Homo-oligomer: A and B are copies of this chain.
Amino acid sequence: MTATVIDRIGLLVTNRPELGEGPLGVLRDAALVVEDGRVKEVTRAGVAGDANVDAGGRCVIPGFVDSHTHLVFAGDRSEEFAARMAGRPYAAGGIRVTTEATRAASTEELRTLTRTRRWEGLRAGVTEVEIKSGYGLDPESERRCCQVAKEFTNEVTFLGAHVVPAEYEGQADAYLDLVRGEMLTACRPFARWIDAFCEEGAFDADQCRAVLEAGREAGLGLRLHGNQLRPGPGVRLAVEMGAASVDHCTHLTDDDVAALAGGETVATFLPAADFSTRQPYPDARRVIDAGATVAIATNCNPGSSYTTSMGFCLALAVRDLHMTMEEALQAATRGGALALRRDDLGRLEPDSRADFVILDAPSYSHLVYRPGMPLVAETWVEGRRAWPE
């Protein structure tokens, strides 16, 4: 395969400090040479031979790695959302409403819905995505969700332990037997990860531990939803078990922060969920300043965060989580890659996967300076332009 040259890049973010200036390893007037889906060379503009793509002085960043999504679902919960925003009571059953719609949908319908959402993510600059199950909640429905997810990414997460479905009301342990048994077996062929929702109203620490242990025995990597709505044991459990990521991290004690700083687990913030549920935002400064590794993801789901826009998440991360532009961009690219334990993603250096975004802007700071604007001009995945098609 011949090389493709992206030339006349006004500002190139490599996320490799050794290659350029500052923590993002920024180069001015640069070119990117890609071959066989990988970065071959990062060099100066105009020296790389024939340009195939003229970036025209615009900014190029590593593609966003959206390490937390629930893209496979059916149904619409905008009425519930509107009621919540207006402070009106709403009788809907939250996740269970989506579970009903998802179970009722055909596999082909789920595939079509997921394809549209994945396309929206590409349009927003997402070059790799994690997708969780968790709206099937019976072995066959979870299997279908994992199977569909696997058609769009290798980063599939089995989340049978999302909530207790209606038919197991009051029998959480019996449900978790199913999760760790037949359901895990059905989903295992499609999944790389196992996840659980550690929160009052979902599952407690012992229950989550048992689920993650079963997943580990089956060869899956570990992730956890923790500390979303109140302080709890999630963060410490995740770190203790060596999970790749613990997600939400909105309510943290000093012990939680110390655990994150001392462990191997990435703290993943999901600010669009805090936006859409009017929760307080996490204190990202405390976590970063303690030395922990952080990521930002969309948490795209129909209940608490129905967005695929990493740009929107970045704007919130800077404005409301008080991250710097550089921290936020890194968290949304390299941070996401680390949350998925992927060393080939989230950087633009020789041999990393050629996943990048050409912005309609001279600098990545416009992602926050221009909130709500669709600033992605082109999204490239493995050296090919994936959006616009």
When chains A and B are docked, how far (Å) is the Cα of A360 from the Cα of B260? 41
B85 engages A373 (CB within 8 Å): no
When chains A and B are docked, how far (Å) is the Cα of A374 from the Cα of B388? 14
Asked if A79 CB lies within 8 Å of chain B CBs, one says yes
B85 engages A368 (CB within 8 Å): yes
Asked if A308 CB lies within 8 Å of chain B CBs, one says yes
Contact of A372 among B78, B278, B325, B372 (CB under 8 A): B372
Residues of B within 8 Å of A278, CB to CB, are 319
A275 engages B319 (CB within 8 Å): yes
Q: A76-B362, A362-B76 are in contact. Are A371 and B276 (CB under 8 A)?
A: yes
Nearest residue, chain B, Cβ from A123: B374
B325 engages A365 (CB within 8 Å): no
B306 engages A370 (CB within 8 Å): yes
Q: Sort A-B residue pairs by CB-CB distance and give the 9 closest, nearest first.
A: A312-B372, A309-B372, A78-B369, A78-B365, A374-B374, A81-B369, A86-B324, A82-B365, A306-B370
Asked if A214 CB lies within 8 Å of chain B CBs, one says no
A307 engages B76 (CB within 8 Å): no
Asked if A363 CB lies within 8 Å of chain B CBs, one says yes
Residues of A75-90 at the interface with B, using a CB-CB cut-off of 8 Å, are 76-79, 81-82, 85-87
Supply 24 A–B pairs (Cβ within 8 Å), ascending by A.
Answer: A76-B362, A78-B363, A78-B365, A78-B366, A81-B369, A82-B325, A82-B368, A82-B369, A85-B318, A85-B368, A86-B324, A123-B374, A124-B372, A272-B372, A275-B371, A276-B369, A306-B370, A307-B370, A307-B371, A307-B372, A309-B372, A312-B372, A312-B373, A313-B372
Residues of A285-308 at the interface with B, using a CB-CB cut-off of 8 Å, are 306-308
Interface string of A329-373 (1 = CB under 8 A from B): 000000000000000000000000000000000110110111111
Asked if A311 CB lies within 8 Å of chain B CBs, one says yes
Nearest residue, chain B, Cβ from A363: B78
| Tally of A interface residues using CB under 8 Å | 40
Min CB distance A90 to B, Å, is 13
Residues of B within 8 Å of A372, CB to CB, are 124, 272, 307, 309, 311-313, 315, 372
Asked if A120 CB lies within 8 Å of chain B CBs, one says yes
Residues of B within 8 Å of A311, CB to CB, are 372
A81 engages B306 (CB within 8 Å): no
Q: A319-B85, A324-B85, A324-B86 are in contact. Are A371 and B272 (CB under 8 A)?
A: yes
B371 engages A309 (CB within 8 Å): yes
Residues of A369-387 at the interface with B, using a CB-CB cut-off of 8 Å, are 369-374
Residues of B within 8 Å of A365, CB to CB, are 78-79, 81-82
Residues of B within 8 Å of A306, CB to CB, are 369-370
When chains A and B are docked, how far (Å) is the Cα of A374 from the Cα of B325? 22
Interface string of A5-18 (1 = CB under 8 A from B): 00000000000000
When chains A and B are docked, how far (Å) is the Cα of A259 from the Cα of B85? 28
When chains A and B are docked, how far (Å) is the Cα of A368 from the Cα of B77? 12
Residues of B within 8 Å of A86, CB to CB, are 324-325
Choose among A78, A123, A366 the residue with the greatest number of B CB atoms under 10 Å from its CB: A78
Min CB distance A124 to B, Å, is 8
Min CB distance A279 to B, Å, is 11
Residues of A219-237 at the interface with B, using a CB-CB cut-off of 8 Å, are none
Min CB distance A56 to B, Å, is 14
